[in-house]
Structure 1
Amino acid sequence: MPAAARAAGFDPGRLRRIDELVTAAIAERRLPGAVVLVGRRDRIVYRKAFGHRALDPAPEPMTPDTIFDLASLTKVVATTTSVMQLVEEGRIRLSDRVSTFIPEFGRYGKEDITVLHLLTHVSGLRPDLDLTFEWEGYDTAIRLATEEVPVAPPGERFIYSDINFFLLGDIVRRVSGRPLDEYARERVFLPLGMRDTMFRPPAALAPRVAPTERCTPLG
Structure 2
Amino acid sequence: MKGSDDLKDKDVESLNEIVLSGVNNVYTGASILIGKNEKILYKNTFGTKDENKKLTEEDIFDLASVTKVVGTATAVMRLIDEKQIKLEDKIGKFIEVSRPKSEVTIFELLTHTSGMQAYSNLWQKYRGEELLKHIINIQPQENGYKCYEYSCLNFITLMKIVEEVTQKHFKEYVEDIFNEIGMGNTCFNPKNKDKAVSTSIR
**Normalising to structure 2: TM-score of the pair?**
0.91
Q: Residue type matched to 1:141 in 2?
A: L
Q: Is the 8 A contact 1:37 1:44 kept in 2?
A: yes
C-alpha spacing 1:153/1:195, structure 2 compared with 1 (3 Å): same
**How far apart in 1 are the matches of 2:162 and 2:66?**
17
Match of 2:151 in 1: 161
1:36 partnered with 2:23: no
Q: Mark the runs of 5 or more structure 1 residues left unpaired by the alignment.
A: none
1:63 partnered with 2:56: yes
1:119 partnered with 2:110: yes
1:212 partnered with 2:199: yes
Q: Residue type matched to 1:212 in 2?
A: T
Is the partner of 1:25 in helix, strand or coil? Answer: helix
1:147 partnered with 2:141: no
C-alpha spacing 1:106/1:8, structure 2 compared with 1 (3 Å): farther
Is the partner of 1:166 in helix, strand or coil? Answer: helix
Deviations 1:146-179 (A, max 9, x none): 3212114575211111111111011111101111
Q: Is the 8 A contact 1:117 1:154 kept in 2?
A: no
Q: Is the 8 A contact 2:108 2:146 kept in 1?
A: no
1:179-198 equivalent positions in 2, closer than 5 A: 179-186=169-176, 188-198=177-187
Is the partner of 1:23 in helix, strand or coil? Answer: helix
Q: Residue type matched to 2:58 in 1?
A: D
Is the partner of 1:34 in helix, strand or coil? Answer: strand
Q: Mark the runs of 5 or more structure 2 residues left unpaired by the alignment.
A: none
C-alpha spacing 1:26/1:100, structure 2 compared with 1 (3 Å): same
Match of 1:17 in 2: 14
- Matched positions, count: 202
Is the partner of 2:12 in helix, strand or coil? Answer: helix
Match of 2:168 in 1: 178
Q: Is the 8 A contact 1:129 1:144 kept in 2?
A: no
Q: Percent of pairs identical after alignment?
A: 30
Q: Is the 8 A contact 1:121 1:159 kept in 2?
A: yes
**How far apart in 2 are the matches of 1:82 and 1:146?**
18
Shift, 1:6, TM fit: 7.9
**How far apart in 2 are the matches of 1:51 and 1:214?**
15
Is the partner of 2:193 in helix, strand or coil? Answer: helix
Shift, 1:68, TM fit: 0.3
Higher mean C-alpha displacement, 15-24 vs 73-82: 15-24
C-alpha spacing 1:41/1:75, structure 2 compared with 1 (3 Å): farther
Q: Residue type matched to 2:103 in 1?
A: D
Shift, 1:129, TM fit: 2.2
Q: Is the 8 A contact 1:99 1:111 kept in 2?
A: yes
Deviations 1:107-147 (A, max 9, x none): 3x21320111100000001012234842111x123211232
RMSD: 2.1
Q: Residue type matched to 2:118 in 1?
A: P
Q: Residue type matched to 2:49 in 1?
A: R
